[in-house]
Structure 1
Amino acid sequence: MDRIKQIASHLTGSGGVSALQYQSPDDVVITMAIRSPLCKARKGGFKDARTDELMLEMFKRTIEMSKIDPSLVNDICVGNVLSSAAAYEARAAALAAGFPITTPVQVINRFCSSGLMAVTSIANSIRAGQIEIGLAVGVESMSFNPDNGGPEQSELLSCNAQSADCAKPMGWTSENVAEDFGVSRDEQDAFAALSFQRAEHAQKSGFFDKEIVPFEVFQKDPRTGERSPTLVTKDDGIRYGTTKESLSKIRSAFPQWGMGATTGGNASQITDGAASILLMTRRKAQELGLEILAKHVTTAVVGVPPRIMGVGQPSICDPAALENCDITKEDVDLYEINEAFASQYAYSVKTLGIPVDKVNVNGGAIAFGHPLDEYLLIATGLNELKRRQGKVLVTSMCIGTGMGAAGVFVRDQ
């Protein structure tokens, strides 16, 4: 990264955002960023759709929207957290969708950052000259693969306090953040209400129309049990008319821990969904005549104490990513951060000292839901960055077991 900064600074005569906007044929660029609707697990539009069926539909929509021959894709990386059969499902779904047998597939899992890690893995392979075109996909069915928490640990691990904390419930980590850093219930409800209100406004205004691709999935008739195809076109977890006052009436989800300030209203919903990002060199994109949405600049990953895993995003990983790019928080036009819990959302915004009107401007996981593999941030962020004619997007997320990740993207002007 230092070498990249030196070259860009020399060619542009400056550093910062100007250097990042320098266009090289070797840039790793994004030519497609799409997502499915996000649907409430066990209740929403995808409740009867298996993980492999969501993968299949995402691959089909990718081939349809990418504007390239699928045989040109040199590698596919799929982010998935919960499915124990993900490696089988991803390869089979890609073949069934129309990718040739010559296109390899891998699966990556770093919990909530798995979608960003898939993008990073493909981007790094392109940067290293190993491939020219690659596809990063994120898919999660929490309906078919519920998150049952950490596994039982061997006593060889659990005797270590930090190791034991890795298996603790995420609600416990939310309460730890709230108590350790003084994030009140009132403050959490206020941030959560803002997420719902922004998402409601964005959905009603049609802001998501360019990033969402309709998904045809099977839904089960509750009377007969028969499955029939249904077209799902929009997010179904946004609760219209949500206010801080209405959220304040919801009882504590974890009264046994901390201040008991985390509730079903100020924490992310459990959700099903998918997203797809097509990456290649700028040289290849220009050769194929494709529109370039943005380039991937860098990804930073950090570790934090597991008991307060929420502080990994973005208060620690974002500064690391910005330092890699030689830019400051003031240079960033939009932040898309994972709202796993309002406690860490509020903490992160305050700690970074960034204006709330730059963060999750169309709502976040509290309103849409959190498919565990937080892949939608890039598609949503790039769509909004283009709408606002902004330059720099940062996406970030906290990660179970105590980590954080952030990615930096620059829109083509």
Structure 2
Amino acid sequence: MSRQIQEAYIVAATRTPIGRAPRGVLRHTRPDTLLVHAIQSALAQVPGLDPARIEDVVAGCAIPEGPQGMNVARIGALLAGLPQSVGGVTVNRFCASGLTALAMAADRIRVGEADAIIAAGTESMSQVRMDKLLPSFNPAVFEGDENIGIAYGMGLTAEKVAERWKVSREDQDAFALQSHQRALAAQQAGEFADEITPIEVVRRTPGLDSGEVRVDRMEVALDEGPRADTSLEALARLRPVFAARGSVTAGNSSQTSDGAGALIVVSEKVLKEFNLTPLARFVSFAVRGVPPEIMGIGPKEAVPAALARAGIRQEDLGWIELNEAFAAQSLAVMRDLGLDPAKVNPLGGAIALGHPLGATGAIRAATVVHGLRRRQLEYGMVTMCVGTGMGAAGILQRV
């Protein structure tokens, strides 16, 4: 039976503050707890929507192991108090996991298989640390040069991009400084207030002398990453991390982070049934592959594809969230595509705000949704490079 294509609308979009990993304010907060907070916060934005109408929770997670394993999407749905009839599926497309979750939710609604889905992402890089993982590569990866890039660390791929696209160390550091400056200015201006739902962090410390447990509570309302003490001089003093004579440093790379985000996507039928006000329309999504050893350049292939599917021009984009995995790859993509620097990451990016891997796509989608409304812009985009050589891009429209 054929189904008529229908529109998918975002009616709620929120996120947690982003904490630094592995020693930040959210280090003791479980990733499923972060997801629960994001889901409940999104539902609170649409009190008129019957939670029983939610059919699924699609949640991105780049390293679905340990406390964020065992299908964290379904666990998060149940712990958030959603009816047991609501399903849950965890999606892994590395850094584009959260954006892919949003695209999957929108697709199911557009083809008429669902009318209300929660799209989300969560990641605790404090509790599931990349430096503690023991990857096991297929031996075929090392047979010749064709697939060896699969085994490259992300930092090495950034060095490859910097070399091939001739992105200087000075330009990378200047880009990193701008990220912090924009993020700090945005925090001071309250630009994140619409998208962040503060979270209470609870710490319990056993008292060895008293035998009692001390409970400390703290509300976290801002991203922890932006640094007011960053300067070009300080950035220039940092040594390359991934290549002895390289240009990629800890200062011009994204921060390891903890966080979660969630959006509620519905059909026009649900909009009318519950008299909901849409925030944005999900317009298009595209993913494209590139050589794994230069994975950072992925958006240069995905962005044109997403624009073509949306039927709009690059100039029509008023807001672009280009995930700053590394300054080197961000600058290479911007220059290659001719992106307007004023439209790219106007509130700062992952170098300052952090990059909780599988959550970032959902988090940055919330940024675009609220940014478009505040500044009365029509189209926005979330795009990022993806490990093993991919780029992803999703386009949203304010309604």
TM-score interval w.r.t. the shorter chain? Answer: over 0.9
- The answer (yes or no) to whether the contact 2:6–2:111 under 8 Å persists in 1 is no
Tell me, yes or no, if structure 1 residue 177 matches structure 2 residue 158: no
Corresponding position: 1:152 with 2:152: no
* Alignment pair present for 1:230 and 2:218: yes
1:61 and 2:28 aligned: no
Equivalence for 1:11: none
Contact 1:176 1:308 in 2 (8 A): yes
**Is the 8 Å Cα contact of residues 166 and 306 (structure 1) preserved in structure 2?**
yes
After the TM superposition, which of the residue ranges 203-212 and 280-289 deviates more from structure 2?
280-289
1:104-140 C-alpha deviation (Å, 9 max, x unpaired): 1111000000001101111111111111011001000
Q: Which residue of 2 is the match for residue 356 of structure 1?
A: 341
Q: CA offsets, 1:146-203, max 9 Å, x none?
A: 1246723232332142432112111100100011111000010111111110000000
Match of 2:374?
A: 387
Partner residue in 2 for 1:14: none
Could you report, residue by residue, the CA deviation over 1:301-323 in whole angstroms, capped at 9, with x for unpaired residues?
0000000000002x111111111
Aligned partners of 1:162 and 1:285: how far apart in 2? Answer: 49
Are 2:388 and 1:401 aligned? yes
Q: Distance in 2 between matches of 1:66 and 1:144?
A: 31
- Are 2:65 and 1:79 equivalent residues in the alignment? no
CA distance in 2, matches of 1:362, 1:293: 20
For the 8 Å contact 1:40–1:46, the answer to whether it is kept is yes
Instruction: Tell whether 2:76 aligns with 1:93.
Output: yes
CA–CA separation in structure 1 for the residues paired with 2:207 and 2:177: 36
Q: Residues 392 and 301 (structure 1 numbering): CA distance in 2 closer, same or farther, change over 3 Å?
A: same
- For residues 269 and 86 of structure 1, the distance between their equivalents in structure 2, rounded to whole angstroms, comes to 22
Contact persistence 1:150–1:166 (CA under 8 A): no
Deviation at 1:227, TM superposition (A): 5.9
Q: Distance in 2 between matches of 1:255 and 1:102?
A: 51
Paired residue for 1:205?
189
- RMSD of aligned alpha carbons: 1.9
Q: Please report how far the alpha carbon of residue 362 of structure 1 lies from its aligned counterpart in structure 2 after TM superposition.
A: 0.4
Q: What TM-score, normalized by structure 2, do the two folds share?
A: 0.92
Secondary structure in 2 matching 1:298: strand
One-letter amino acid of the counterpart of residue 200, structure 2: E
DSSP-derived class of the 2:357 partner: coil
Identity %: 38
Q: Could you tell me which residue of structure 1 aligns to residue 247 of structure 2?
A: 261
How far off its partner does 1:222 sit? 9.4
Aligned residue in 2 for 1:340 = 325
Structure 2 match to 1:8? none
CA distance in 1, matches of 2:12, 2:265: 8
CA 1:223–1:408 in 2, change beyond 3 Å: closer, same or farther?
farther
Distance 1:139 1:350 in 2: 31
Give the letter for the 1:255 counterpart: A
- Displacement of 1:44 in angstroms is 1.5
Aligned residues: 386
Which structure 2 residue ranges, 5 or more long, are not aligned?
none
Partner in structure 1 of residue 178 of structure 2: 194
Please give the secondary structure, in 1, of the residue aligned with 2:45. helix
Aligned-partner residue type, residue 79 of structure 1: G
3-state SS of the aligned residue for 1:153? coil
Kindly indicate whether residue 233 of structure 2 is the aligned counterpart of residue 250 of structure 1. no
Matching residue of 1:292: 278
Q: Is the 8 A contact 2:115 2:269 kept in 1?
A: no
CA distance in 2, matches of 1:222, 1:341: 40
What residue in structure 2 maps to residue 44 of structure 1? 24
Q: Secondary structure of 2:130's partner? A: coil
The answer on 1:215 being equivalent to 2:203 is no
**Equivalent pair of 1:151/1:167 in contact (CA under 8 Å):** no
2:112 alignment partner in structure 1: 129
Distance change in 2, residues 1:357/1:76 (3 Å): same
SS in 2 for 1:118: helix
Q: What do residues 272-303 of structure 1 show as CA deviations (whole Å, max 9, x unaligned)?
A: 00000100112321331112111001100000
Partners of 1:337 and 1:396 within 8 A in 2: yes
Give the 5 Å matches for 1:261-280: 261-280=247-266
1:223 is displaced (CA, Å) by 8.0
Distance 1:144 1:113 in 2: 20
- What corresponds to 1:240 in structure 2? 228
Partner of residue 21, structure 1: none
Q: What is the CA–CA distance in structure 2 between the aligned matches of 1:40 and 1:220, rounded to whole Å?
A: 20
Tell me how far apart the structure 2 counterparts of residues 64 and 359 of structure 1 sit (CA, whole Å): 30
Deviations 1:191-221 (A, max 9, x none): 1111110000000110001100011233354
Displacement after TM superposition at 1:96 (Å): 2.2
User: Structure 2: how far apart are the matches of 1:357 and 1:349?
Assistant: 11
> Is 1:268–1:340's contact at 8 Å kept on the other side of the alignment?
yes
User: Letter of the aligned partner of 1:195 in structure 2?
Assistant: S
Which residue identity lines up with residue 238 of structure 1 in the other structure? P
CA distance in 2, matches of 1:63, 1:356: 34
The Cα shift of 1:252 comes to 1.5
CA 198–154 in structure 1, closer or farther in 2 if over 3 Å, else same: same
Out of 261, 268, 285, the residue aligned to residue 282 of structure 1 is: 268
Whether the aligned pair in 2 keeps the contact of 1:51 and 1:83 (CA below 8 Å) is: no
Contact 2:126 2:258 in 1 (8 A): yes
Q: Name stretches of at least 5 consecutive residues in structure 1 with no aligned partner.
A: 1-23
Q: Distance in 2 between matches of 1:343 and 1:40?
A: 22
User: How many angstroms does 1:86 deviate by?
Assistant: 2.7
Is 1:139 the counterpart of 2:122? The answer is: yes
One of 366, 372, 384 as aligned partner of 2:351: 366
